[in-house]
């Protein structure tokens, strides 16, 4: 038994060192050097204070901000440690009721907007943490945000265009807008004079 136990323990120790210590250190080091922003969580810092991450959605509810996708995470919205979808199918009465409530909230926040509500404004993503919305969802909100901030509509539309990211590699996915980045740009936009 000693003849098989010793090599097994040596192999176990060597693999633990390589796979459990050296490999994670090497990958972390390469990540910090080659992809420092991503490896650090893509944090957004303003005036020395971390205000969020470009990779995780945030809840905005003020009419002067663009709203992101609803979050299905628990126990609170956009909880990165609770990433998950709602797992509710399209025929689930709870999902239907939630979507109806979200549509009503959007209509109440902008009663003059008679456009169709983009689906990503009323349904959560699979992770429940999506930081981006479709260009249609951003454009749907332009009137409300412009009115709340007393900015010309075309200025807000220009900010949406400036913050639109095209398809990945030119053909994957669809054009999208990062809600946090757009809202920070809105905060930096000059306020209209009265």
90 and 166 part of one domain: yes
Distance of CA 160 to CAs 12, 18, 47, Å? Answer: 55, 48, 23
Separation CA 170–CA 174 (nearest Å)? 9
Domain assignment present for 161: yes
The verdict on 11 and 61 lying in the same domain is no
| pLDDT at residue number 4 | 86
Q: Tell me the pLDDT band of 193, cut-offs 50, 70 and 90.
A: low
Rounded Cα–Cα distance for residues 155 and 138 (Å): 14
User: What's the pLDDT score for residue 143?
Assistant: 96
Predicted confidence (pLDDT) per residue in 64-121, tens digit? 999 999 988 777 788 777 777 777 888 889 889 999 999 999 999 999 999 999 999 9
Alpha helices in the chain (DSSP H): 2-17, 23-34, 36-39, 93-109, 135-149, 153-162, 179-188
Phi first, then psi, for residue 165 (nearest 5°) are -105, 130
191 vs 40, which has greater pLDDT? Answer: 40
The 3-state DSSP class for residue 51 equals: strand
Backbone angles phi, psi at 147, to 5 degrees: -65, -45
If we measure between CA atoms, which residue out of 188, 128, 194, 129 comes closest to residue 163? 188
On whether residue 194 sits in a domain, the answer given is: no
Asked if 179 and 58 touch (Cβ cutoff 8 Å), the reply is yes
Same structural domain for residues 130 and 170? Answer: yes
Count up the domains in the chain and report the number: 2
**pLDDT-derived band of residue 194, with 50, 70 and 90 as boundaries?**
very low
pTM: 0.80
Distance CA 153, CA 75 (A): 36
46 Ramachandran zone, left/alpha/beta (phi>0; psi -120 to 50) = beta
> By residue range, what is the domain housing residue 72?
43-188
- Residue 12 falls within a domain, yes or no? yes
């Amino acid at each position: 038994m000693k003849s098989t136990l010793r090599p097994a323990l040596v192999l176990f120790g060597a693999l633990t060192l390589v796979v459990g210590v050296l490999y994670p250190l090497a990958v972390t080091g390469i990540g910090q050097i080659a992809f420092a922003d991503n490896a650090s969580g893509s944090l957004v810092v303003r005036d020395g204070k971390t205000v969020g991450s470009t990779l995780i959605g945030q809840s905005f509810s003020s009419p002067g901000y663009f709203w992101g996708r609803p979050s299905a995470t628990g126990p609170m919205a956009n909880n990165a440690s609770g990433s998950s979808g709602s797992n509710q199918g399209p025929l689930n009465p709870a999902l239907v009721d939630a979507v109806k409530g979200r549509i009503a909230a959007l209509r109440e926040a902008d009663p003059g907007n008679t456009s169709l509500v983009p689906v990503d404004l009323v349904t959560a993503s699979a992770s429940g943490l999506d930081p981006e919305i479709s260009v249609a969802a951003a454009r749907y909100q332009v009137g409300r945000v412009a009115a709340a901030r007393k900015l010309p509509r075309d200025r807000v539309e220009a900010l949406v265009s400036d913050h639109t990211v095209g398809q990945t590699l030119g053909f994957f996915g669809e054009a999208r807008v990062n809600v946090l980045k757009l809202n920070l740009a809105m905060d930096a936009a000059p306020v209209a004079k009265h």
